[in-house]
Amino acid sequence: MNWKKWSLLFTLVFAMGIFLTACGGGDDNSGDGGKDTGDNKGSGESTLADDQSLTVNLKTEPPSLHPGKATDTTSNAVLSQVFEGLTRIGPDGEPQKAMASDIQISDDKKTYTFTIRDGVKWSNGDPITAQTFADSWKWVLNPNSPDTEYAYQLYPIKGAEAAKTGEGSLDDVGITVEDEKTLVVELENPTPYFLELTAFYTYYPVNQNVAEKNKDWAADAGEDYVTNGPFLLDKWKHKNQIVLKKNPDYWDAENVQLETITMEMVDDENTAKQMYDNGELDWLGSPLDSVPLAAIPPMKQEGSLKVSPKAGTYYYSYNTEKEPFMNKNIRRALALAINRKGIVENITKGEQKPAMALVPTAIWEENKDGYFKDNDVEKAKEYLDKGLEELGLDELPTIKLSYNTSEGHSAIAQAIQDMWKESLGVDVELNNEEWNVYLDSLSQGNYQVGRHGWLADFLDPINFLEIFETVGGTNYTNWENDEYASLLEEARKETDEAARKELLREAEEIFMDEMPLAPIYFYTNVYAHKDYVKDVPVSKLGTIQFKWGYIAEH
């Protein structure tokens, strides 16, 4: 591969936009306790500007602003500003009390008692009670509730999975309302990340009175879009712009400084960069949109670019229900023939790390070397020959490689198209689709190889492994394995941390041997913001929160 040729081409066309079907929240962005701002409004070093307006680029239309239906980072970028769960991930990456004023955990770590804050209410004035959360969670777990792919995030709760699959009753789910302010939650097994889950959007409350009267309440801004977070959904001009306003009735409103957040929907990364340079945007890049490749070297040189770890993996899914990808040796051959080091050094250039494992190094540092050698063409040829023999073929038919619209995805796909042709003699047809259409194609199995990725919802390896436990949901590979699923179930019951990790490692070993996907790189956050934007933490989970942000005088 002529990397000089590719580097020149991608300098002109590549952008770092990566939008996935996963979400999260987590850690610091520059190694100083969750903030890269330096100044603190309480320290006397910065003074609040009179105009507390922030403008960012959301890049694209959020697929769903219903907490129980959303499955992607774009939607989460809005939801995490306008809603709030029992907990919220703080600037230090740790869960803190939010709608709950007190949390008690039993000695066996299987029962959580949440006390709802005094006086908390919806934006329409309705009170928020323990019953609010119980009803919202049970709505997600109701087998008749549509488009609830993330219901499995509630499965740590006793009886939740049985209720969702129709094998049990919603009445038997371990969610008990003791009184107006007390919610008791019983878990199937000790779940060390449960307070991270209660900060996740699937656990957000929804005003059921409004939702029952208007099933399309979340389709537009208006009086029926009732929320409880630090901001309100003021305007939603579809495929154009979202405007958020400070929520005066939010329980912690006195610590929310931003008055207005305008979210543009500019799909072209170079246009967004120009807007940033012209002062029309205050933030550029992760986790909302992208920094164009051509801008990365000069921004690094001038010191304006920020790069931080992100718990996520960029990969290509194989549809294991379609030939030739039912054959694991064919899957292995294609995976090993990818030059990941070349991609991250010559294309992405955002300090991403080559991925030869599923769980990212931000969670498991030992996955740095992974399960196979990067760009192992000779071994890839061996696997290809073996796979062709097993399939009774002389050569592979043309493979269709699909990806959603993005110059970055396109650039990587073109490079891998060349790699597979040069190394293995495999012809590859590229197929580009708009994001929502692309998601439909993946979920319906209308693809062979598809660009995808996963950002952690919480900082635990099981979040990556459990995606592939069963067919369905966001497991677009359609691969499943009984031994793999058994190990995950065992890990959920294991209370010894070291033993639990060993079970999860065994599961990942099975997964990487079967290779239902080809990992490509581990993500990083790559972004910049104006100097006057303060106290906006960017997490390892690829999320951003504006609750603590403010505009300093400039």
Q: Are strands 533-534 and 550-551 parallel, antiparallel or unpaired?
A: antiparallel
Same domain, 517 and 543: no
Name the burial class of residue 213, with classes exposed (0-12), middle (13-18) and buried (19+) by CB atoms within 10 angstroms of its CB. Answer: exposed
| CATH code of the domain containing 227 | 3.40.190.10
The neighbour count for residue 171, using CB atoms within 10 Å, is 8
Same domain, 275 and 395: no
Does residue 493 lie in a domain region?
yes
Nearest to 131 by CA among 65, 182, 193: 182
Same domain, 113 and 189: yes
Residues 529, 530, 532, 535, Cα dihedral to 10°: 0
SS3 (DSSP) at 179: strand
Stretch 293-317: mean pLDDT, rounded? 92
Does residue 396 lie in a domain region?
yes
Does residue 59 lie in a domain region?
yes
pLDDT tens, residue by residue, 202-252: 999 999 999 999 999 999 999 999 999 999 999 999 999 999 999 999 999
Does residue 465 lie in a domain region?
yes
Structural domain range at position 276? 53-282+530-551
- Distance from C-alpha of 456 to C-alpha of 465, rounded to nearest angstrom: 11
- Distance from C-alpha of 15 to C-alpha of 182, rounded to nearest angstrom: 48
DSSP string, 337-385: T--HHHHIIIII-S--EE-SSSS-TTT-GGGGS-SS-TT-HHHHHHHHH
pLDDT tens, residue by residue, 159-211: 999 999 999 999 999 999 999 999 999 999 999 999 999 999 999 999 999 99
Does residue 16 lie in a domain region?
no
Same domain, 269 and 315: no
Say if residue 522's pLDDT is above 50. yes
Say if residue 421's pLDDT is above 90. yes
Same domain, 440 and 397: yes
Same domain, 516 and 418: yes
SS3 (DSSP) at 130: helix
Same domain, 323 and 383: yes
Stretch 513-531: mean pLDDT, rounded? 97
Same domain, 231 and 352: no
Does residue 374 lie in a domain region?
yes
Same domain, 75 and 175: yes
Same domain, 450 and 542: no
Does residue 347 lie in a domain region?
yes
* Structure confidence at residue 45 as a pLDDT band (50, 70, 90): low
Please count the structural domains in the chain.
Answer: 2
| CATH code of the domain containing 374 | 3.10.105.10
DSSP string, 233-251: EEEEETTTEEEEEE-TTST
SS3 (DSSP) at 297: helix
Does residue 12 lie in a domain region?
no
Same domain, 434 and 314: yes
Same domain, 365 and 474: yes
| pTM for this prediction | 0.81
SS3 (DSSP) at 410: helix
pLDDT tens, residue by residue, 73-116: 899 999 999 999 999 999 998 999 999 999 999 999 999 999 99
